[in-house]
Structure 1
Amino acid sequence: MRIINKLFGNEKERSAAFQVLANQLNLKYESQNDFGLIKQLSDFGLFKYGSSQKISNLLTEKAFDSENYLFDYQYVVSTGKSAVRFEQTVFFVNSKQLSLPQFVQKPESFFTNLMAFLGFDDIDFAKFPEYSDKFHLKGEYEEVIRFYFSEELLQLLLDQNSFNMEAMNYYFILYHQNKLIHTSELKAFRNLGMMLFNLFLIQSKKSDNFLQP
């Protein structure tokens, strides 16, 4: 019973922290979201895992030409007789001003290093070897992806923890796989997402000239 009470208490404290941030930034707060947002994000790798998918503590800001969201997302992976729940905090932008190539960035790991050893190369940046050591970046249109990863964006990423990013067209998500962002860091995490969005937006506005034959 103590464990159950503690877990419930932590959830209540976390929800309260999201509500405080919503009030500070004039955002809309929802304790839960129906399947609509999960369906909208279903093409991203993160949202293809597991079952019992759930979004909670949703913060929303909508403008004329963009929407951004901050929320906790969980899913369950069943392995035989056991089931494991995975949780992470996600920042999501939907903006028609973006024109992003599809890419996936994840922290380097034993698995990604093994893939590189086997000949599955990722996208590296000669001027930013620290980025290439820290992250594994993959996508079909390498030159287009390089264009969107400006020096300002790469430098910003170097100064942060090893977050995951995924993007396609108008959509962009930022998260740390299987990790909830601490309530004291929620505002900073959202600010990071907004900074990355603005840097991608700058490149999107330049992309017409870059993509001309």
Structure 2
Amino acid sequence: MFHWGTLVIFGCLIHVSSLEEPIHSKCGEDYNILKKLIELEEEVKNLKTNLKEHRSANEKCKNVAFRAQLTKSLGTVTLGQKIVYDSVELNNGKAFHPFHGVFTAPCDGIYLFSITIGNAGKWGVIHLKKNGETIEYAWAGFNTGWDMGGVTTVAKLNTGDDVWVEGRGTIDGANSHDGIGVLKHTGFAGALINAL
């Protein structure tokens, strides 16, 4: 780091405070070298700072993945109602907020999301929302008997973007009539594929 004052480089007197170019031609060439070195030092300093910030962001984004499901029926929900899942079996990175049903991107990246819905005889629709805009949807229950629907997609998110599921119609959670216990059919899952 250079300080205010005067330097003598290669026999040339240079004022660092103003980086005035010396009068003599040989000294002028030396001045240009010094000026370029100072610019390179600043560039290296900025690159180190950016690398440190990038590494810090990547540390936050290691192993980001979640899976949430319903263990019980929500019954009839109105248009735009956010689905809050009562069973969160995986939440690596703590980016999924179980009390609100919202995933918040911890860093810029490409994310994979999956939503499923299972209904018995009554229709229901779920929408995957990114900051309030639908990016995918699935429905179930338009047929008699048990019916399931689902979709998997990818989305580019910026740090702080929110993703959640909204429903309409009947939202069932589990089916225990198959003889092997309660199976969770309505769920929401996601994972970071690649940090940007």
TM surpasses 0.5 = no
Q: Which has the higher contact order (CA 8 A, sep 6+)?
A: 2
Normalised to the residue count of structure 2, the TM-score between the two structures is: 0.25
Normalised to the residue count of structure 1, the TM-score between the two structures is: 0.24
Q: Pick the structure with more strand per residue.
A: 2
Q: Pick the structure with more helix per residue.
A: 1
Larger Rg: 2
